[in-house]
């Protein structure tokens, strides 16, 4: 029985996570693996509803409130989709995971990364990715790629996003046993190749 593998792609808005996830899934399928792709927040019915509150609403809330709602969505994702898929020996690729909460909700608010790691690990039932791949590039360049209305976090502006970028680099080692930083400021196929090289057959 093949053991499952849990991979998370993370990074600031617009770095290319959604674009790269499809290419990485194909890479694993070409290796004969079954793959489940999920996105955090979202994918489950509960997560999709919570995503609406978190991203599209004009609600204001305390950063800890925001963090706990992201964690509630993740709890549902872990228990109803990720754990079962891993138990079946699949590769699970998640577009973001707890690292995102630690960096986005600790900037500018009064919630510490350490508290978010503690709360977040409980909420995820202590499941961490086996590998976390951080796509990194300057916020001004990644935000320039986004051609849709800003969500609640993007609306906080480029300085906020650049602080999030720096927090990603600082907190990455806490996210998984194995981590990697990939320069996302290259053409799509070059970035895809760099990511594939992390997962040889």
Ligand X SMILES: Cc1cn([C@H]2C[C@H](O)[C@@H](COP(=O)(O)OP(=O)(O)O)O2)c(=O)[nH]c1=O
Is the four-CA dihedral 15, 13, 150, 38 of positive or negative sign? positive
Among 29, 49, 62, 145, binds ligand ADP (CB under 6 A): 145
Considering the rule CB under 6 A, would residue 15 count as an interface residue with ligand ADP? yes
Distance of CA 120 to the CA centre of its chain: 13
Say which entry of ligand X, ligand ADP, none residue 96 contacts (CB below 5 to 8 A, set by partner kind): ligand X
From CA 76, how far away is CA 56, in angstroms rounded? 20
Helix pair angle (188-196, 17-30), 10° resolution: 50
195 is in an annotated binding site: no
Considering the rule CB under 6 A, would residue 165 count as an interface residue with ligand X? no
From CA 4, how far away is CA 46, in angstroms rounded? 24
Is the separation of the CB atoms in 123 and 71 below 8 Å?
yes
Considering the rule CB under 6 A, would residue 132 count as an interface residue with ligand X? no
Residue 7 is encoded by which pair of tokens?
């991979």
16 is in an annotated binding site: yes
Each residue 43-82 as x (binds ligand ADP by CB under 6 A) or -, in order, gives ----------------------------------------
Give the interface with ligand X as residue ranges (CB under 6 A).
Answer: 13-14, 17-18, 40-41, 55, 70, 95-96, 100-101, 104-105, 151, 153-154
Annotated binding residues for ATP: 11-18
């Amino acid at each position: 029985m093949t053991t499952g593998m849990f991979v998370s792609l993370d990074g600031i808005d617009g770095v290319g996570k959604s674009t790269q996830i499809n290419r990485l899934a194909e890479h694993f399928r070409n290796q004969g693996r079954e793959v489940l792709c999920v996105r955090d927040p979202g994918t489950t019915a509960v997560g999709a509803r919570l995503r609406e509150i978190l991203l599209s609403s004009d609600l204001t809330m305390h950063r800890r409130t925001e963090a706990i709602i992201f964690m509630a969505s993740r709890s549902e994702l872990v228990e109803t989709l990720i754990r079962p898929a891993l138990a079946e020996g699949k590769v699970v690729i998640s577009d973001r995971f707890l690292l995102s909460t630690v960096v986005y909700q600790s900037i500018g608010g009064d919630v510490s990364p350490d508290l978010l790691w503690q709360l977040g690990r409980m909420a995820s039932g202590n499941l961490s990715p086996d590998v976390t791949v951080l796509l990194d590039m300057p916020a001004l360049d990644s935000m320039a790629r986004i051609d849709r209305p800003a969500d609640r976090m993007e609306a906080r502006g480029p300085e906020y996003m650049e602080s999030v970028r720096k927090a990603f680099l600082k907190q990455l080692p806490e996210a998984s046993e194995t981590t990697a930083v990939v320069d996302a400021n290259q053409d799509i196929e070059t970035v895809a190749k760099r990511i594939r090289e992390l997962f040889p057959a």
